[in-house]
Amino acid sequence: MTDPRFALRVLSTLGLRGLITEIAPTLTRRGLDFAPTYGATNVLMPRIAAGEAADVALLTDAAIEELTRRGIIADGSRRDLARSAIGIAVKAGAAKPNIRTVESFKQAIVAARSVAFSKSGASGLHFVELIRQLGIAADVLRKARVLDGVVGELVARGDVEIAIQQVSELKLVDGIDIVGALPDELQKITMFSAGVFARSPRPAAAGLMVAALATPEAMGAMRRQGLEPIGRVG
């Protein structure tokens, strides 16, 4: 069992939870014990701004850039890890809607009995803007379930018909089928990055953890978790 007195404290976007879970045994074998806290970047940022202490941040690239500019993340510690696309999912075995074009995606969302998307995550914020641009916001919001967390769980339970979220977050859920990514014209790619907190009491170990997330082994796990690895320093 990880001793909380010596474990690295990690604040991570939900979009990287699958990756961290998969490579946790490898990190532990390297002596990198850690205690992760997961949430949408937009949920974790106010906590960091309020002074919450940690060793490693795994957030969107924009958030890491902002925290570096404010001196909260150590300058030079940033590493860009992976890109993530937004996708949709339905209950396992259910008919998969056609989302290959802008018009077919629009029709699928309008025709769905119910949809779910994240309240604070990058995918949910983008989806709200998207349905406004497509002129279907009123129809969609009337039948929407909006919450922070893994919205694919609502589909797995049969509570809603379609979930919209980062593909890497949809992959966290059993009992759903991922239909695919949004059409290119509607897509918004999010980059996830890592950084070491400037006030970390364990900066060397934190830096080793960040570096471990860019190894070939970690990049293989990224692909299995629906992410596109970058594998270079940002």
69 belongs to a structural domain: yes
pTM metric for this prediction = 0.90
* 50 assigned to some structural domain: yes
| Residue 29 scores a pLDDT above 80 | yes
Instruction: Verify that 30 and 74 share a domain, yes or no.
Output: yes
Q: Could you write out the DSSP letters of every residue in 144-165? A: EEEESS-THHHHHTTS-SEEEE
Asked if 134 and 176 sit in the same domain, the reply is: yes
Confidence of residue 234 (pLDDT cuts 50, 70, 90): very low
pLDDT of residue 231: 56
Asked if 10 and 58 count as a contact pair (C-beta separation under 8 A), the reply is yes
User: Band of the pLDDT at 233, cuts 50, 70, 90?
Assistant: very low
Pairwise CA distance, residues 224 & 227, whole Å: 7
Which pLDDT band holds residue 209 (cuts at 50, 70, 90)?
very high
Task: Inform me whether the pLDDT recorded for 195 exceeds 50.
Answer: yes
pLDDT in tens, 99-116: 999 999 999 999 999 999
CA distance 113 to 93: 17
Residue 102 in domain? yes
Q: How many domains does the chain have?
A: 2
Residue 104: CATH number of its domain: 3.40.190.10
List all residues 6 or more positions away from 77 whose beta carbon is below 8 Å from its beta carbon: 68, 194, 195, 196, 206, 207, 210
Q: Which pLDDT value is given to residue 187? A: 96
CB environment 121-133: b (16+ within 10 A), e (fewer):
bbbbbbbbebbee
**Domain membership flag for residue 110:** yes
Please give the pLDDT value at position 74: 97
Please tell me whether residues 12 and 56 are part of one structural domain. Answer: yes
Residues of the domain holding 104: 86-181
Question: For residue 1, what pLDDT is reported?
Answer: 41
pLDDT 10s digits, 13-27: 999 999 999 999 999
Using alpha carbons, select from 123, 166, 231 the residue that is nearest to residue 16: 166
Average pLDDT of the chain to the nearest whole number: 93
**Token representation of residue 184:** 């290119």
Tokens, residue 169: 């977050």
25 in a structural domain = yes
Residue 64 is assigned to a structural domain of this protein: yes
Query: For 85-98, what is the mean pLDDT?
Result: 97
User: Do the domain assignments include residue 2?
Assistant: no
Q: Tell me, yes or no, whether 79 and 91 share the same domain.
A: no
